[in-house]
A and B are shown apart, each in its own frame.
Chain A
């Protein structure tokens, strides 16, 4: 006979008639003999039945007749879907090649880290020049907008991608873009030096962590590395924060930044 804990594990499946065979028999047997579990189950069953009283406010036919047109119009306004460019790679890549690629990535990471953080480095100088250049707030705003937009597209691809269909080609494409954005992030962060830009700086820092993870992962059977990245995106509410930032920017597009544009702003449909 199953325990009360096992009964609770099976209860959701039983409620929706997904239990069969011996699981169902054991469940019913426990229910007959344990008054506490029986009451628990009856309560859940009556709650679920009560939830059928809910009604959905459905739009009328007029709404549906123009629906697809409005969606297609919105798509035209936001631009075409971004195509992922696949590089011609051999059909079968040997396992050792992944190992070498991982080593190269680590070496590149060390090299880039030393280049960025060493005093007098070129990226640092570039950032410093942006920081001191008070004539170019528009270019900073445009860089931020482009950075957030591209990051969002990559992260959407990760979040909405199918777990089983993550090909080396797709990952390679996302990793190239991530590395490029990591480079840009350093420059942008250095240029965001006002107190009111702290939130944006923090967002870019969070994005850097995710992009760095994405840039360095490897696809191995049974190891859901991409899931770790997805988890990071979800836990840090990255997409939400990008949306919030874009909303904030869209509220003051011209006054503050002059030439600010974001292709991912909400399209009225």
Chain B
């Protein structure tokens, strides 16, 4: 298997096959991160493809001092934040009524009626959508992508202490939003 650095070098020199190989190697984790940042499949598909277009466009500025995957994580997070802002803007501008439904997702019902997995899923997505873009990025990178805090700091280009405080606040907010599951699933009160 050709090394990643070699492929990146070839891609930077305009080799489409090399870039294609890089896409194939990283498409699933980019999609997964896009899903974690957007919370639905359609947006994740759009975002992940947009990430590769942006990556291709920005290839000349990629100097290879960090790993290709780290760089892609950074592009995905930035694109996710932009997409979220844009979506929020569009919803605010053109569809104020839809805000009441939490971006079209299921609205929370009374705790005793939320029992099945689908409703838990909807509630978790709703809780994630309540995080700030930075909080959400840090939480999903640490929790769902198992990246160490130091690497997250590198990806987001911030201090590790900042990552820790984002993560702390993210978990506190999630805990508060998911408080209705406190009794059923043993969540403590935030």
Contact = CB atoms under 8 A, between A and B. Distances in A.
A46 B174 CA distance: 11
Contacts of B19: 72, 75
Interface string A60-73: 00011001101110
Interface size class of A (residues with CB under 8 A): 35 or more
A250 to B, nearest CB: 14
A68 B24 contact: yes
Contacts of B50: 266
Interface stretch (A24-32, A100-108, A177-185, A238-246): A238-246
Contact of A12 (B55, B75, B168, B178): B168
Interface string A25-62: 00000000000000100111011101101111111000
Contacts of B71: 160, 162
A198 interface: no
A-B pairs with the 5 shortest C-beta distances?
A43-B188, A165-B63, A47-B175, A12-B167, A84-B60
B60 A162 contact: no
Contact of A50 (B23, B44, B52, B181): B181
Interface stretch (A13-21, A117-125, A204-212): A13-21
A199 B53 CA distance: 28
B45 interface: yes
Contacts, number: 168
B4 interface: no
Q: Binding site of B, secondary structure by majority: helix, strand, loop or mixed?
A: helix
A227 interface: yes
B89 A244 contact: yes
B176 to A, nearest CB: 9
A157 B168 CA distance: 31
B20 interface: yes
A9 B186 CA distance: 24
Nearest to B170: A12
A43 B178 CA distance: 11
Interface in B43-66: 44-46, 49-50, 52-66
A46 B86 contact: no
Contact of B54 (A70, A83, A156): A156
A153 interface: yes
26 contacts: A8-B168, A12-B142, A39-B188, A43-B187, A44-B171, A46-B186, A46-B188, A50-B187, A53-B120, A53-B124, A54-B124, A55-B117, A57-B41, A57-B44, A68-B24, A71-B20, A74-B49, A80-B14, A84-B60, A84-B61, A153-B57, A160-B54, A160-B58, A160-B62, A162-B71, A164-B65
A16 B60 contact: no
Which of B45, B56, B125, B149: most chain A CB closer than 10 A?
Answer: B56
B27 A46 contact: no
A51 B167 CA distance: 14
B148 interface: yes
A11 interface: yes
A67 B44 CA distance: 13
